[in-house]
Amino acid sequence: MSTVKLNWGTGLVIGMLLFIGFILYFVITMMTDSKFDHELVVEDYYKQELILNEQLEARQNLAILSEPIRGKKTAEGWVLEFPKELQNKIKGNVFLYRPSDKHLDSDFPFVLSESNLLIPETRLLDGRWNISVTWQHEGKPFLYETSINY
């Protein structure tokens, strides 16, 4: 019987091949398994990047309001309190973004009847939400964004 001797060079090559095989196994598993989702955060990423300057201007316009917009949780849902100067003067759009499930995202128009905007509890499940409210006032665009845990 002959014995096979392994020197340190052969052992090093075998170790490297095993490590490479281990890494390739996990890469292939991650790419082919359907339970690992590889979607972009938003579908139209590049389109949204092009309107970035308009969004920055709309965010900066919040500074001209007499007081900041405040949000709070109530029994009916999430209430956004606008400054009194905007009462009965604005129409806009609310976008609810759920980072964990794009199927829960929703978009709806609003008309401010008082100085409060109610986002109904039926639209909000427990968890994290990103809220974007856009509107025009005296020819200027406004964008209010916040993240909440409902």
pLDDT of residue 38: 59
- For residues 42 and 32, the model is more confident at 32
Domain-located, residue 113: yes
Q: 101 lies in a domain?
A: yes
- 88 in a domain, yes or no? yes
Report if residue 141 sits inside a domain: yes
For residue 13, tell me if it sits in a domain.
Answer: no
What does the pLDDT read at residue 37?
Answer: 64
pLDDT-wise least confident of 39-43, 115-119, 129-133: 39-43
8 assigned to some structural domain? no
Q: Mean pLDDT across the stretch 120-148?
A: 84
First-to-last alpha carbon distance for the chain, in angstroms, is: 73
Q: Residue 73 pLDDT > 80, yes or no?
A: yes
What CATH number corresponds to the domain at position 91?
A: 2.60.40.10
In this structure, what token pair is assigned to residue 105? Answer: 């995202």
Given a contact cutoff of 8 angstroms between Cβ atoms, the answer to whether 113 and 90 are in contact is no
The answer as to whether 97 is a domain residue is yes
Cα separation, 98 vs 105, in Å, equals 6
Q: Confidence class of residue 84 from pLDDT cuts 50, 70 and 90? A: confident
pLDDT for 2-34, tens place per residue?
677 778 888 899 999 999 999 999 999 888 877
pLDDT tens per residue across span 91-106 = 888 888 888 777 888 8
* Residue 18 confidence (pLDDT): 97
Give the pair of three-digit tokens for residue 124. 């909000």
Q: Does pLDDT of 70 surpass 80?
A: yes
Q: Say which residue, 85 or 81, is predicted with more confidence.
A: 81
Instruction: Report which of 116, 30, 49 is spatially closest to residue 76, judged by C-alpha positions.
Output: 116
Residue 39 has pLDDT above 80, yes or no: no
Find the domain containing 141 and state its range: 45-149
Residue 26 covered by a domain: no
Q: What's the whole-number average pLDDT of the chain?
A: 82
The total domain count for the chain is 1
